[in-house]
Amino acid sequence: MEVVDAADAGTAPPALVFIALKEFGGMAENPFPAPERHFPVDLGAPLNESLMLDVAVPAGYVIETVPAALNLRSPDGHVRAQFRCTAAEDGRSVQISSALNLTRTSFAPEEYGGLRTVYAALVAKHAEPLVFKKSAK
């Protein structure tokens, strides 16, 4: 893989830089794509998954937008998702954290919708970009 520095290529750095958690190990797609299910979901083991990413604001940029927080649970409370994106007070870094907890291993077909909805919301958050804007300085 070849890395090209924009300054070396004779082009100006971009006005905006986008970073999404899915590019750094986050969920890129929902493992439950079907709108409905006629058989139970058996995961085999409870799931407690977390992901944290510390992002340094690129030199010459400022934070433009950060994704809103998410705190969601399925109707039965056995599937929970959390997402936070927090800028440091000095504005030079951003911490992104995500957690997914499934306290049960098996879900009946009628519980599938709640499971799918929580996963879909977390996948959408992992795709939502953190945006940096070129500083006016």
Question: Which segments in the chain show pLDDT lower than 50?
Answer: 1-6
pTM of the model: 0.85
Query: What's the pLDDT at 136?
Result: 83
How far are the Cα atoms of 23, 27, 34, 86 from residue 118, in angstroms, in the given order?
Answer: 20, 12, 14, 21
Report the C-alpha gap between 14 and 10 in whole angstroms.
12
Q: 48 pairs with which residues across the strands?
A: 101
Domains, the chain, ranges and CATH? 22-134 (2.60.120.1130)
Find out whether 74 and 82 touch, Cβ atoms under 8 Å.
no
Query: What's the pLDDT at 2?
Result: 35
**3-43 pLDDT, tens digit each:** 334 455 557 788 999 999 999 889 999 999 999 999 999 99
What 8-state DSSP symbol labels residue 66? -
Q: Which residues contact 77 (CB under 8 A, 6 or more apart)?
A: none
